[in-house]
Structure 1
């Protein structure tokens, strides 16, 4: 067995961002929508930089127009994840894209997504939990509506609340109301920070939004006092190395700070973010980390344990997933 064959836990994946290009092309054809400009000659997603990536992402998402589309998307994404032996995944869902932030429409979309997730759990053994996520560049008022959608559907499937989007837009504190609303509803909290924003954006997310996990967070390494604070507080980083390299946050894998963060006591996990955009899979992430940093099976078991401990799920689910992580000869 190689490290890429190990069972895996993923905490940071955007459902729309994980849509296989062929799936989006097929949907566009069904809807007579021309999306040719977002694909390269090989059929992969095409973008110039992070901000162009956001435009291509939203263009691809534009053909997802109904709960049935999201049912099909969820099955397609979870099939890809299961092929990498992912046994538990948390997916960011954007109510803005699933009914425009309307609670009743969101409930219909969510029901379709959950139906697909339940089917894939029975068929492939992969467990999914949902984290409704506001889009930072859509602004604080829209984030409040997203938080309301999340709060109205909290339960065994919807377990967290987060924020993604363009880190250059506004401050973390601008979204405090939405995060307070989600917290009061019993949702657990994460926010993207320290990807394009520097270490101060990570500090802001922890201080102002009181999150327990940070999406990316890797640029905390530029402030070693902050790294120590994160380690001491037990804040978990949802690290997506392949994404960071593909988007140019770091020029190459050997420059990525995941190993240094881990060495300094930070709880790091590994995820794909938007895998087809970055030509990644969880198998690929594990292989490249092993190749780059010399990590072995014990290292990846530690990463999986950190991810499971930080997962936004109930204890019964955590226990069931833990059993799947145990070696076959244990």
Structure 2
């Protein structure tokens, strides 16, 4: 079996706060006099168990230097796992009050990102459509300057897909990729709606799509990738790693890219996600390479970087 850390790949599903190193969290929490969130217990804990811990972690990020540090460390951690490209998702509203506005957040993140990180600005399914429209407009302003996409995060049950069409239309007009979360709790209909109404080029998670052959066919026909993050599902009672439909989706022609989501809370880096997929789903090296290829092809990386990573994947398979 080949070493997974040397397999070139891209991480397309990673959130700013959730990318924080545990040691960095502990240091910043001690400085701020805040508690460190405990690990999410195994089993069906529900979304609130995750969100409360995420909010505690986010509260330690007080300054631009804090955020810049987390961005830089996230890029380093992904690179150590073989990632030649990372797309980091940031909701500016989460940090705007402390940094002095949405623009200040974006400028801070972009200044720390480096040339191997693309930024996805995101709103929340729980936010008002007007806030999503504001964030999409901001993303459009920074398109071509490090912002590569626009997304929606959080629990998809808290918003209506059709309410966010105007925001995604603005993002599309600026040439940004559409990457909403979907199909985590809601059924396959939600994944389909994200594609048909929001123009999703990728769907964060999207696991429920596999239950509906018509939705699977739609994803395959349009080349819409699903960003599957193996460690995110067992703690929230969504699915066990061994039950993830990765092989079935690949066989149906659906691009699948493995991501980390929130390694701070779910406990596995990018190489660890690949290892879990290999160990629990019995994927061979050719299938692992296919996942890596999908992550690169579905990314917003520049053509030269894509080619470099794809050549590296081919080389990994032949050595």
Fold agreement, TM-score > 0.5: yes
Aligned to 2:35: 35
CA distance in 2, matches of 1:46, 1:291: 22
Measure how far apart 1:15 and its partner are.
Answer: 1.5
CA distance in 2, matches of 1:164, 1:97: 12
Match for 1:179 among 168, 174, 179? 168
Moved more, 319-328 or 183-192: 319-328
Contact 1:17 1:275 in 2 (8 A): yes
Long gaps (5+) in structure 1? 122-126
Count of residue pairs the alignment pairs up: 315
* Residue 299 (str. 1) matches residue 287 (str. 2): yes
Contact 1:156 1:313 in 2 (8 A): no
CA distance in 2, matches of 1:318, 1:222: 32
Q: Residues 322 and 263 (structure 1 numbering): CA distance in 2 closer, same or farther, change over 3 Å?
A: closer
Contact 2:16 2:88 in 1 (8 A): yes
Measure how far apart 1:109 and its partner are.
Answer: 2.8
Q: How does 1:134-283 map to 2 (within 5 A)?
A: 134-250=123-239, 252-283=240-271
CA distance in 1, matches of 2:72, 2:199: 33
Q: Deviations over 1:223-256 (max 9, x none)?
A: 1221112112211111112212232211x22211
SS of the aligned residue for 1:219 comes to helix
Aligned to 1:24: 25
Moved more, 292-301 or 107-116: 107-116
CA distance in 2, matches of 1:308, 1:302: 10
TM-score normalised by L of structure 2: 0.91
Aligned to 1:15: 16
Q: Residues 128 and 256 (structure 1 numbering): CA distance in 2 closer, same or farther, change over 3 Å?
A: same
Match for 1:88 among 76, 85, 88? 85
Q: Deviations over 1:42-97 (max 9, x none)?
A: xx467943222112212211221322111111122222222222221111111112
Contact 1:10 1:270 in 2 (8 A): yes
SS of the aligned residue for 2:105 comes to helix
TM-score normalised by L of structure 1: 0.88
Contact 2:85 2:301 in 1 (8 A): no
Measure how far apart 1:4 and its partner are.
Answer: 4.2
Aligned-CA RMSD value: 2.3
SS of the aligned residue for 1:327 comes to helix
Measure how far apart 1:189 and its partner are.
Answer: 0.7
- Of structures 1 and 2, the one with the larger relative CO (CA 8 A, separation 6+) is 2
Moved more, 93-102 or 109-118: 93-102
Long gaps (5+) in structure 2? none
Measure how far apart 1:276 and its partner are.
Answer: 2.2
Aligned to 2:57: 60
CA distance in 1, matches of 2:5, 2:65: 33
CA distance in 1, matches of 2:175, 2:296: 19
SS of the aligned residue for 1:280 comes to coil
Aligned to 1:311: 299
CA distance in 2, matches of 1:236, 1:46: 29
Measure how far apart 1:274 and its partner are.
Answer: 0.7
Q: How does 1:67-146 map to 2 (within 5 A)?
A: 67-100=64-97, 105-118=101-114, 127-146=116-135
CA distance in 2, matches of 1:176, 1:17: 27
